[in-house]
Amino acid sequence: MSLSLYITRLKCTIRNKENMFWSYAFPIILASCFFFAFNNLWDENSFETIKIGYVSDRTDNDPLLIAIEEAEMSKDVPLFSVTKYKQAEAEKSLKDKEIEAYIVGGQEPVLYIKENGINETIIKSFLDNYRQMAATVEDIVQKNPEALNQGLLEDIMNFKTYVYEEKEGNKPDYILVYFYALFAYTCIFGGAWGLNEVINIQADMSLRGARLNASPVNKMKLLLCNMFAAFTAHSGSILLLFFYMYYILGIHFGDNLGAILLTCIVGALTGLTQGVFIGVIFKFKASVKETVLITVTMLQSFLAGFMFADIKYIIAEKIPFFSYINPVNLVADALYSLYYYDTYDRYMLNIVILLVIAVVLSALSYLRLRRKTYASI
């Protein structure tokens, strides 16, 4: 009996084209959009080399120009990309934002910039250092006149790097915030399925609900079967998205597949219960409830960095409480913890809070829904 209720409901659910689009196709389209738009941001070379102009009063062997051209930010990645200009051209290029700054070489080079920023700081400190190195040489020669013969200039030219980074573990990745937020959004937006189910079963919400109330089947049993059908359909969309992101787009998700799947399931559950809760607790028309659900989910997603990743950091910093009650953020954060941390503390915290939210919302919805009878609709 329950099985046939479940199967029938599953068929109904899958035939709801609109819901199917929003939960199956839409996240995949959006993931592709993110992928194409952010693809280049991953490639660090493409945006870190600083474009500058150089105005030289000499035609050949300008030592400063050579030093600028040879500067590297990491192995084989140049720090600057230099174009030689006449002063007037350089000024025009700077104004047209083709270059970030230009340098007029000579005994005392002058830096021309348009705004303050990290790139300007880097250029300035490079030039300062260049001049200070010259001063160092002078100073040393004064203190030890023999130095030049002992190979001082070679040592000066032989600029060493003293810092290194260990390449173990995953690094914090800004772009992943978007993908995880999208994934979390898909989980929580499953609320639409949950909302559908309770609208379908409340007699004052839909005609089918009225019909069901007159039928001899136990309401809670029916609701459970229906919810299970919705959960099946919803989990399907999440798994599809996961496979698309993981195998086709190649987004990093950490190595613990089991934990990822647990996140999917818990996220799907919490999403459903949020939809149920909104469907039960408010006394509006069905269409208004849908709008409320969309607005709430979108707001949660926004706060989790879906539209602008910095928001996630700002919320975590300024109002951390918010990030712990926001299910979208919790799902996204659980994924991020799996990817980023070696320990599972933070991941477990997220999952536990999600489960608590799911249980609390379900309990509240249950209290509102049980034993409801209608004298007149």
Nearer to other proteins, 36 or 366 (CB): 36
| Residues with Cβ within 8 Å of residue 85, at least 6 apart in sequence | 53, 54, 55, 93, 102
State how far the Cα of 365 lies from the Cα of 215, in Å rounded to an integer: 22
Structure tokens at 338: 């799996």
Answer for which of 228, 246, 324, 341 binds other proteins (CB under 8 A) is 341
For residue 82, give the 3-state DSSP assignment.
Answer: strand
CB of 98 to other proteins, least distance (A): 9
Answer for which of 10, 14, 22, 62 binds other proteins (CB under 8 A) is 22
Q: Which of 325, 323, 320, 328 is nearest to 360 (CA)?
A: 325
Report the chain's C-alpha Rg in angstroms: 30
Answer for which of 10, 12, 14, 26 binds other proteins (CB under 8 A) is 26
Nearer to other proteins, 112 or 228 (CB): 112
Is 160 among the residues that bind other proteins (CB under 8 A)? yes
Q: Which of 142, 106, 146, 148 is nearest to 127 (CA)?
A: 106
- In DSSP terms, 78 is beta-bridged to 72
Site mask for other proteins (CB under 8 A), range 85-124, x = bound = ------x--xxxx----------xxxxxxxxxxxxxxx-x
Is 324 among the residues that bind other proteins (CB under 8 A)? no
Is 181 among the residues that bind other proteins (CB under 8 A)? no
Site mask for other proteins (CB under 8 A), range 237-276, x = bound = ----------------------------------------
On whether the CB atoms of residues 293 and 287 are closer than 8 A, the answer is: no
Nearer to other proteins, 61 or 149 (CB): 149
Site mask for other proteins (CB under 8 A), range 281-310, x = bound = ----------x---x--x---x----xx-x
State how far the Cα of 191 lies from the Cα of 112, in Å rounded to an integer: 55
State how far the Cα of 63 lies from the Cα of 69, in Å rounded to an integer: 10
* 249 burial via Cβ count (<10 Å: 0-12, 13-18, 19+): middle
- Of residues 139 through 158, those in contact with other proteins by CB under 8 A are 139-140, 143-144, 147, 150, 152, 155-156
Answer for which of 159, 243, 284, 366 binds other proteins (CB under 8 A) is 159
- Of residues 34 through 53, those in contact with other proteins by CB under 8 A are 34, 36-42, 44, 46-48, 50
